A and B are shown apart, each in its own frame.
Chain A
Amino acid sequence: MNEPIDSETVFLARHQLDTLITALRGRGYEVVGPTIDQGAIVYSEITSAADLPVGWTDDQQPGRYRLKKRDDDACFGYVVGPHSWKKFLFPPLATVAAAERTQNGWVMQTPGSVEDTPRYAFLGVRGCELAAIQIQDRVFMGGAYTDPTYARRREAAFIVAVNCTQAAPTCFCTSMNTGPDCRSGFDLALTETSTGFVIEAGSEAGRTLLLELPVSAVTADQLQVAAAARQQAVDQIERHLDTDGLRDLLVNNLNHPQWEDVAERCLSCTNCTMVCPTCFCSTVAEVSDLTGDHVRRERRWDSCFNIDFSYMNGGIVRNSIRSRYRQWLTHKLGTWQDQFGTSGCVGCGRCITWCPTEIDLTAEVAAIRATAGRAVVSASATEVTP
């Protein structure tokens, strides 16, 4: 144990990164972080710094994602991959309720408790991802009803953020005001430099943990190098989404011809919603054993791009790709504001990278904006306040 350092910001040498992982594991956390699997950097359980994608980066373009060797040993020298942390907080498969048939009829239960909730420590949460978690907090915990699965996992989680030092051509977090800097919502935030990590504590839990690590006081030089590294990410961002009046723009252009245009290209494959760190659509399905006496209600990720998602009374409400894409984009960038007081988009660019037909939502919005007003639904549309 080191001398306690009287500062919010400290320095951890590169070869000491394992001490952070060990300390977290020692506190009972399952540490999940970036690791390479099937040609992509994904989030999975890690046990040491050796599991990290050391010396690798990602090359992203609309419809393209490739891993590439770096010419250094950076642990966090990539941007974002197909995974986001929502898979841990809002698991793709979760049992929300159960029913057991007894002699006296059905006994209903809601399984899960604080005790059996996994305690995750997320290592490598980007600025846009912190924003995404805060958005899902509002969805699952901010309304009249709280989702117990999400709330328990969220309460238990420890967040180690990592500031971006590079950006992908698909990134536009600066437009969404979510990054690249990590501003809030973390226990610790790291900035990686060639010699180690400048670490900032963002919570009491983070400060306490730092006491266990072999950190040293941060030097002015180290701070300057870290700041320059972070600035590099800012400078690299080229993509832009004009958010001015965006909600009204979309809501007032529900019959814009651009929806037909994008529908020609969109495959309704759901990729964008699966990789999106804020999309939260789900469906509960019944899972019963052969006797039918033991039933679980399983919640699975769903997508507004699935054709039967809007199924109602023998019919599909959104029976065209045009209407489904419109639903997704107007919700994500527009009506989300009405519901949760924030945009549903954090500018991470995943939906652009992972779209098999290279659809770029920033370009779709720009196209609508360029010709808006020529296709306004009706004059009354603007008069009605939601």
Chain B
Amino acid sequence: METMDRELSELLRETRFAEGFSEQELQSVARAGRLHRAGKGTMLFQEGEVEDEVFVVCSGHVALEMQVPRRGNVRLLTVGSGELVGWSGLTADGRMTASAVVTEDATLIALSSKALRELCRSDHELGYLLMTRTARAISQRLLATRLQLLDLFAETQPQARPGQAS
């Protein structure tokens, strides 16, 4: 398992999520994880279900979708390398607020939410680091959602550079 952990920590090191983590911190986090490869079309988790793992995307793409009656699965966002998926397991009870579907063959690190929470409790330094990174990921997600909400291209329609209106 040693080599497995090392491989995981190496993968983790490459992600923006773990940018700046010390060797020891990487090892600690990697011990809570497993490597997860998922082919295109795989559903990582489903909206409404309780999930006990949090994913860090190393490569590939994952789409987040919400199911709306009569509209089907509405694709809200695709996430890529370095990003966090399924963070409800870190901040709440792990009930997923969206479904995650792999849209391009993905390599992920699946981290046990329970183990991560344990890690945070027992090592506050590392816990602070992990929660700061999680908060950053969430705030980036929030900003992106706001920008989508602004529907910029619709609002400024017709928009262009310069003044392609009139």
Contacts and interface: CB of A to CB of B under 8 A. Distances in A.
Nearest to B158: A313
Contacts of B159: 313
Contacts of A315: 156
Nearest to B162: A312
Interface residues of A, number: 4
Nearest to B159: A313
Contacts of A312: 163, 165
A314 B154 CA distance: 11
B122 interface: no
Interface in B10-44: none
B3 interface: no
Interface in B117-163: 156-160, 163
A314 B158 contact: yes
Contacts of A314: 156-158, 165
A314 B157 CA distance: 8
B38 to A, nearest CB: 43
B interface majority secondary structure = loop
Nearest to A315: B156
A315 B164 CA distance: 13
Contacts of A313: 156-160, 163-165
Interface in A311-325: 312-315
Which of A313, A314, A315 has most B Cβ within 10 Å? Answer: A313
B152 to A, nearest CB: 12
B163 to A, nearest CB: 7
A313 B165 CA distance: 5
A312 B162 CA distance: 10
Nearest to A313: B165
A362 B159 CA distance: 39
A312 B157 CA distance: 10
B103 to A, nearest CB: 33
A314 B164 CA distance: 11
Interface string A304-316: 0000000011110
Interface string A142-165: 000000000000000000000000
Interface in B98-128: none
B95 to A, nearest CB: 40
Nearest to B160: A313
B161 to A, nearest CB: 11
A314 B153 CA distance: 12
Contacts of B156: 313-315
Interface string A290-316: 000000000000000000000011110
B124 to A, nearest CB: 33
A312 B158 CA distance: 10
B87 to A, nearest CB: 32
A65 to B, nearest CB: 39
A314 B159 CA distance: 9
A315 B158 CA distance: 10
15 contacts: A312-B163, A312-B165, A313-B156, A313-B157, A313-B158, A313-B159, A313-B160, A313-B163, A313-B164, A313-B165, A314-B156, A314-B157, A314-B158, A314-B165, A315-B156
Interface of A: 312-315
When A and B form their complex, which 5 residue pairs have the shortest distance between CB atoms, in order from nearest? A313-B165, A313-B159, A313-B156, A313-B158, A312-B165
